[in-house]
Each structure stands twice: as C-alpha cells, then as structure tokens.
Amino acid sequence: MPSFKYLVKRVMKMDYKNMLDKINHIHKETGMGRIAIFNDMRKCAVKYGAGYSDYDLFEMYRLTDEERDTYITRGRNNDLIKKYNNPEYNYLFRNKVEFNTLFRDFIKRDFIDVNSSAKEDVLKFISKHSIFMAKPVVGTCGKGIERIDISTYVSLDEVYDYLTQAGMNYELEEVIVQHEKVATIYPNSINTVRIVTIVDDEGDSHVICAYFRIGNGKYVDNFNSGGMVAPVNEETGEVIDKAIDKKKNLYEYHPITNALIKGFMFPDWEKALELVKEASKLVPEMRYVGWDVSFTPNGPILVEGNEYPGHDIYQLPEHTPNHIGIWPKFSRTLKK
C-alpha cells in the first residue's frame, strides 16, 4: 500500500480534467456508472498505488482484486525507485555526456559534448562522421534528437554554427549500425530492447523483464514518439507477442517492412544479459535501472540507462491476456 504522503501528493497534483476524461471513456467502453468508476479508481489508488492513468491503461476495471495486485503501478514503481536509487546520482543517467563518459566501455561508440569542447575538436568529430546523431544533453522519449548529414550543409563551419546556436546544448554521437537481423524488422531507426535490472541486497543483479522497442516511420523507437513495443522472453531473447503502439494498434507484421515480429530471436542474447548485469553494478547507488540495448554486428551495446524505469509498457492488456502483471517477478526476485 502506498504511503499517505504519496497519496496526498498525487491528489494535490492531479489533473482532474484528464481524470474525468478517463472516467467518461471507461463509462462509454463498459457501461459502468461514473461514480462507481471513480470509487473503484480511488480504491485502486489506496490499495495498489494505481493512478487514474494506470487504472485506464491496464484496464483495471476488468480485473479482480487478486489480478490487480499483480501489477506494478506508478506508486509501487516510485517506491522501488525511492528504495533502490539514490537521487544524488540521477545526473549520471539523465545527462548523456555524464552517462557516456562513465559507461564508455559499454556504449562502444564515439561521442563529444559540443558546449564543453573546443571548436577544433567538434569539427574533427564532424569530419570523421559524415552522418551523426545530435542529442540534447538532457532529454527523454527521443525528443529533440536529430540525425545530421553534413552533405546537406555548405561547410563544416555551417554545421558547427547550427549546433552552437543560442539555446542549443547538444551531445554528438557516432551513428549506431544495428545488426542486419534486427534491421530486417525496421531499418530506419535503432530498434532497442529495454531490459530492466534490479540489484538485490547481496549485490546480485537480476533481469526482471525485457521489451522490444521498434521504430515506425521515425528514426527513434520510443513508444511515446510513435514507436511500438513487444514483450521479449528475458531468458531466451524471443519476441513472444505482437507489437502494439500507443493507440493500441496491434501489429503481427511491421506495417512498413512487413517483417514478422512475433517469434523474432535476438542475436547474442546471452551477451546482452551479461552486458546489462555488468553495467548494473557500476553505480552501486543506483540499483533499479532500465537499460536500452542495441544489437550490432559486433555484439550488444548500451544506448542509455534510465534511472526512472517506466512501468507502463510492461503490462499492457493486449500483452497480458491472463491478467497477470509483472509485480510477482519483482516480489520473487527481492525475496531471494
């Protein structure tokens, strides 16, 4: 059960208009009375730490109390983060330059911070990489990321001027070349796997779940930026269900490449598990992390680490026909 302090904080910051929109949507979907929906939402908030967004997203109105108790909700996720992650070290994951510097042996690609580097060094990077990724030093969900092709500029100086214009704070990265097998699903984005790890009190790292994040018309694969997600068997590396986007469209085949998604097997899966387990121990103060892993011809590499692992994409109704969430996986792991 979430703390009283957490519940009060959520009530104070609640978007009541959005909550009413959710209630009306559920009312139209199910025929349940609006007051009954509100009371049930309140019950789920107090008992399971589920906000109205969780209630709607996971379709908790269709679940029994026993089934609801198997879901990791926003409240439960926040409790894990509070217990296992020291916020004083968040900057190591939120700042891309800090992250890439610390995890250099895991990202295995060239990068440079524009603002803190001499113009000569930035120009050297640009001349070495005719196509590169420009990322906001601090940012999430793939927002603000650009793929820069220097052939579209008159000169390297023009590229530099663009990267250093007022208000910009870019970190530049060498373009990742993904494994040809993964590229068959969708070649125009780096399709990553989100692998969530938690380090127990004995210092052992455990993989809780894994999800394939697939691009769909953009060069980013983020679910919140138009991408799709599909669950992966964390032991074998096999995609075990169809992909889904934020609009709840299901895809057995990729809509652009027509590649079959369910049943896809990732190359070097064991190496990917070793990679994230090793990375998870580099910052002992941060024990609960979601790692975005890319598969390349030379093996898996880290794209980034997320100190606030989302809980939403792992338990979507379309991927949980048995109405069982992933909370039992956390419980079993942390009781070992």
Q: What angle do CA 55, 61, 65 make, to 5 degrees?
A: 95
On the question of pLDDT at 192 being above 90, the answer is yes
How far is the first Cα of the chain from the last one, in angstroms, to the nearest whole number? 21
Burial of 83 (0-12, 13-18, 19+ CB in 10 A): exposed
Neighbours of 158 (CB within 10 A): 12
Q: What are the residue boundaries of the structural domains of the chain, listed by start?
A: 4-69, 110-174, 178-335
Query: Which pLDDT belongs to residue 214?
Result: 93
Range among 160-164, 180-184, 213-217, 329-333 rated most confident = 180-184
Q: How confident is the model at residue 305 (pLDDT cuts 50, 70, 90)?
A: very high
Q: What angle do CA 96, 102, 104 make, to 5 degrees?
A: 90
Residue 14 forms beta bridges with which residues? Answer: none
On the question of pLDDT at 184 being above 60, the answer is yes
**Domains 110-174 and 178-335 agree in fold:** no
Q: Where are the beta strands (DSSP E) in 81-191?
A: 111-113, 131-136, 146-149, 170-174
Close Cβ partners of 60 (under 8 Å, ≥ 6 residues apart): 40, 44, 50, 54, 68, 71
On the question of pLDDT at 12 being above 70, the answer is no
Handedness of CA 18, 40, 48, 64 (dihedral sign): negative
User: Kind of pairing, strands 243-245 and 250-251?
Assistant: antiparallel
Query: Which pLDDT belongs to residue 16?
Result: 84
C-alpha closest to that of 132 among 102, 116, 153: 153
Contact criterion met (CB below 8 Å) for 49 and 14: no
Close Cβ partners of 33 (under 8 Å, ≥ 6 residues apart): 27
Q: Tell me how far apart the alpha carbons of residues 180 and 316 are, in angstroms, rounded to a whole number.
A: 29
Residue-wise pLDDT tens digits, 41-66: 999 999 999 999 999 999 999 999 99
Q: Quick one: DSSP state of residue 265?
A: B
Residue 230: CA count within 13 A, CB half-sphere: 26
On the question of pLDDT at 244 being above 70, the answer is yes
Q: How confident is the model at residue 218 (pLDDT cuts 50, 70, 90)?
A: low
On the question of pLDDT at 140 being above 80, the answer is no
Mean pLDDT of the chain: 91
CA 325 to chain centre: 17
Q: Tell me how far apart the alpha carbons of residues 115 and 274 are, in angstroms, rounded to a whole number.
A: 34
Give the chain's count of helices (H) and strands (E). Answer: 14, 11
User: Kind of pairing, strands 131-136 and 299-306?
Assistant: unpaired
Share of the chain above pLDDT 70, in %: 91
Q: How confident is the model at residue 237 (pLDDT cuts 50, 70, 90)?
A: very high
On the question of pLDDT at 333 being above 90, the answer is no
- Give the mean model confidence (pLDDT) for residues 71-85: 96
Q: Which two tokens stand for residue 143?
A: 């927002």
Query: Which pLDDT belongs to residue 8?
Result: 57
Q: Which two tokens stand for residue 209?
A: 């779940």
Q: Tell me how far apart the alpha carbons of residues 76 and 45 are, in angstroms, rounded to a whole number.
A: 11
What's domain 178-335's architecture?
Answer: 2-Layer Sandwich (3.30)
On the question of pLDDT at 93 being above 60, the answer is yes
On the question of pLDDT at 134 being above 70, the answer is yes
Question: Any idea which of 42-56, 80-94, 134-148, 228-242 has the lowest mean pLDDT?
Answer: 134-148
- Give the mean model confidence (pLDDT) for residues 81-96: 96
CATH 3.30.1490 correct for 110-174: yes
